[in-house]
Structure 1
């Protein structure tokens, strides 16, 4: 279960294998890499390892889940501090100059050409690879569900977030409501559009690949302290591998 070197060089990695199931897993913030030409972005390694640099723990969850289902996982390898692949080109938080109080000096004063270079090197290849995967399945007439995987901080701006997980949804909430109920039956505290809400402008991946295509979809957020270690990652992967097919069967 390893990513292709060629694909990693293109800004994404692909894990798992498609063995006939409906699920396509995507992970916008799984990586922490920074292109060599950008150095360290002017941000310390300690800061880049925080949640501002990536979705802590979601890489392990995604890879274990891809193996368990099994399914294909398309994972962004570069840090969200370089460019956020869950934001549309031109979005104010696509390339941040400050993240949760931490300045990102290398992102200040970028020219249109420098911004376009990041789009071309990272954002567009990642979404093109997702498009390729979905196109092949749709053309084959196969049922397809887009599952976007994210993680969130246990606390933000002094507020302790009580949710173990959150399910985000917007225009088509059918599958989201089923998954919410299944997770809550596990005895978990699950946010309904918490700690974030899915909107037309806040996100890019699900609006583009799920809503625009009118494919069933889910956006799942897991609290980071539950998946920092591999044991928690495996636990959540096993849980989702059990509940996702059940949700799809109900759908």
Structure 2
């Protein structure tokens, strides 16, 4: 957790912000190139979340373990929570993993991460602190031969989606951007973190997807920190009227 007990209404989340692998798993049987690809980590999100945390004086709760160890934005036990193959790459340590092994990873990594989010939300609500969940993700410029035209996407579904829609409206006004509405992915029953924490509590939220090549260096991270800060501040004013 970065910047705990910060005063901002925004609680920043990074489900796939790191690529650490427990030593006992021996790098999952993958070389360094694979361990730094998008299959292992949301490229640029650790740096972007850190920058936004400082800019907004906001807490950033982020997972430092690789999504290939266990995906913290999936329900434990879901078929793709511990993938044996990801974007064409076989993950040897995940192949044939038994139920006990999967449960051990969930208990060691998934559960503490989600518990930290839930605990901070409850603390904030008890203190009367406005709380808006902002999940930060990044996506590849192309997938399976399709060049994705979006620079940014806003994901939303059930619960109180007004904040997400206000952010989308902000990005839609920018002629330099192609913003995706539930693109390049839809928020649906596959996603876990936002639905689990925001829907029942009726908390405002947005899941932000930024194209990874735009976060490839410090200048890119700084530029998107600026853009997202502007979008968040705009939506904070506009979403109650939607």
192, 195, 199: which one aligns with 1:211:
199
Q: For the Cα contact (< 8 Å) 1:16–1:63, is it kept in 2?
A: no
**Alignment length, in residue pairs?**
237
- Runs (4+) of structure 1 exceeding 3 A deviation are none
Distance 1:16 1:140 in 2: 17
Q: State the secondary structure of the residue aligned to 2:136.
A: strand
SS in structure 1 opposite 2:114? helix
**1:177 equivalent among 146, 165, 172:** 165
Aligned with residue 114 of structure 1, among 90, 101, 114: 101
8 Å CA contact retained: 1:18, 1:70: no
Structure 2 unaligned residues grouped into runs of 5+: none
Write the deviation string for residues 39-61 of structure 1: whole angstroms up to 9, x where unpaired. 11111111111110100111111
The offset of 1:143, in angstroms, is 1.4
Q: Does residue 49 of the first structure (1) align with residue 44 of the second (2)?
A: no
3-state SS in 2 of match to 1:73 = strand
* Partners of 2:18 and 2:40 in 1: CA distance: 8
| RMSD over aligned Cα atoms | 1.0
Which whole-Å deviations, capped at 9, do the CAs of 1:116-161 have from their partners, x for residues lacking one? Answer: 1101110000000001110101111221100000000000000000
Match of 1:234 in 2: 222
The CA distance in 2 between the partners of 1:18 and 1:163, in whole Å, is 34
Match of residue 153 from structure 1:
140
Q: Which runs of 5+ in 1 are unaligned?
A: 1-13
Do residues 243 (structure 1) and 223 (structure 2) align?
no
What is the SS of the residue equivalent to 2:198?
A: helix
Give CA deviations for 1:147-192 in whole Å, capped at 9, x if unaligned.
0000000000000000000000001331111101111223211000
Q: CA deviation at 1:18?
A: 4.0
Q: 1:197 aligns with which of 186, 190, 193?
A: 186
